[in-house]
Amino acid sequence: MTASLALGPTPDVPLSRINPCAQILAAVVVSVVLLATLDVVTPAVVVAAELCLLPAAGLTAPRTLLLRTWPLLVGGGTLAVVNLVLGDAGALGALGIALRVVGLALPGVLLVASTDPVRLADALTVHWRFPPRVAVGSLAALRLVPLLVTEFETVRLARRTRGVEAGRNPVARARLLGGVAFTLLVGAVRRAGRLATAMDARGFDSGVRRTNARGSVLRRRDHLFVAGSVVVAAVAVTASVLAGTWAPLFVGG
């Protein structure tokens, strides 16, 4: 499996049957709870529940899982180390911050891994009345993510072929990575300009009401999925309170 295929949606997995709007709403529910407290128990319960959904999103292969989650692991680990060294929250506080970062980002990983971008655009326009320009722009952005990964590998291999390698020097490695990132940025900006021109040429900003060919339906399982996220949030808060670790971020008075 190539990197681009590994980052695309996995077809016909259980989580793909959940409406994208229901997945987004469930992510909002758990995000509110994660942002409302600073303890370690709440994010631990939420992350545990999210990890249980990995097989339902088709994320069972270790390589695929690593390709999708390594930014979360790096970001969460970095914040944990920084807070452990420079902060005064201690090891548990640093662990709570790392778990909170993972808990906030994992729903997005699950959504991208299990949802066809076309279904996402349809759901946004049908249920939440998103303007077609925004919905189709989001669709195009999700479609281009695997392409960026492929281009990154192409540029990296091309530089290696020319003998441009950093070896074990971390400074040189960072400099080369910055060069590759700048190359990808320039290509992405040019591609975005072409896409915007193509969308304007097709009248996406004309103000004319558009119909939806495929449609999108909210079913009973979608409501149950959102209700499940509410239950997870309630269990996380209850466990935190019973453990005596509940530390609300906003305290009145």
HEC string of 89-143 equals: CHHHHHHHHHHHHHHHHHHHHHHHHHCCHHHHHHHHHHHCCCCHHHHHHHHHHHH
d(CA 75, CA 155): 24
Residues 140 and 179 in one domain: yes
Residues 21 and 99 in one domain: yes
Give the pLDDT confidence score for residue 1 in this predicted structure: 43
Residues 227 and 117 in one domain: yes
Q: For the chain, how many structural domains are there in total?
A: 2
Residue ranges making up the domain that contains 186: 130-202
Residues 88 and 24 in one domain: yes
Residues 30 and 68 in one domain: yes
**Domain assignment of residue 111, yes or no:** yes
Extract the residue ranges of the chain whose pLDDT is less than 70.
1-11, 88-89, 166, 204-207, 250-253
Helix (H) or strand (E) holding 195: helix 170-201
d(CA 60, CA 81): 28
Residues 33 and 144 in one domain: no
Residues 80 and 35 in one domain: yes
**Domain assignment of residue 115, yes or no:** yes
Distance of CA 196 to the CA centre of its chain: 24
pTM of the predicted model as reported, rounded to 2 decimal places: 0.77
* Per-residue tokens: 12: 């016909």
Q: Are the C-beta atoms of residues 96 and 40 closer than 8 Å to each other?
A: yes
d(CA 192, CA 58): 30
Residues 135 and 101 in one domain: no
**Domain assignment of residue 8, yes or no:** no
Map residue 203 onto helix, strand or coil: coil
Give per-residue pLDDT as tens, 180-216.
888 888 888 888 888 878 877 877 666 677 777 778 8
Residues 109 and 154 in one domain: no
d(CA 64, CA 146): 13
Residues 36 and 101 in one domain: yes
**Domain assignment of residue 1, yes or no:** no
d(CA 35, CA 33): 5
Residues 111 and 155 in one domain: no
Map residue 209 onto helix, strand or coil: coil
26-46 per-residue burial string, b: 16 or more CB within 10 A, e: under 16:
bbebbbebbeebbbbbbbbbb
**Domain assignment of residue 209, yes or no:** no
Instruction: Residue 104: count other Cβ atoms within 10 Å of its Cβ.
Output: 20
**Domain assignment of residue 224, yes or no:** yes
d(CA 122, CA 201): 21
Residues 189 and 221 in one domain: no
